Amino acid sequence: MNETKIETKNQTKNQTKKQTEQRPSPAASRTGTVVCSLVLTMGNLVTAYLELLAYAVEPAGPWDSEAIAHSNFAAGLALVLAVVTALLSWVFMKAEWLRRWWIAVPAALVLAAILRLTLLAPDF
């Protein structure tokens, strides 16, 4: 009976030891966090700029179909970039380099792009 308890304790210690050996060092984790946050920040800034361009377009009249097309193109490209940024955020969160709130910014940008393409689309 005592031997099984000792074996169980040894197995638990070995499992704990393996788990701690698999974790990256704190310096590597910090470096990963910094790199991921820079990548996502740049992606979010580019997406926000494209959405700003899409929302800033005001057609001059019913003949101005180019302005509407450009607005739709900017909003569509922003939607694609926001989805890519959201997927990257999800991957980085699963790797435990970033916290959960990083997914909120791309989600808001996806919502804004969808609104611009549907309900808030410019038309004359």
Residue 26 has what pLDDT?
74
Asked if the model's pLDDT at residue 25 lies above 80, the reply is no
**Whole-angstrom Cα distance, residue 37 to residue 73?**
27
Q: Which residue has the higher pLDDT, 15 or 48?
A: 48
Which is more confidently placed, 8 or 54?
54
Going by C-alpha positions, the residue among 6, 9, 16, 37 that lies closest to residue 105 is 37
Cα Dmax for the chain: 89
What pLDDT, on the 0 to 100 scale, is given for residue 61?
Answer: 87
Residue 87 token pair:
């997927």
What's the pLDDT score for residue 1? Answer: 56
Q: How far apart are CA 44 and CA 86, in angstroms?
A: 9
- Number of Cα atoms under 13 Å in the Cβ half of residue 113: 25
Mean pLDDT, all residues of the chain: 86
Mean predicted confidence (pLDDT) in 59-79: 93
- One-letter amino acid at 99 equals R
* pTM (2 d.p.): 0.77
CA–CA separation, 76 and 84 (whole Å): 13
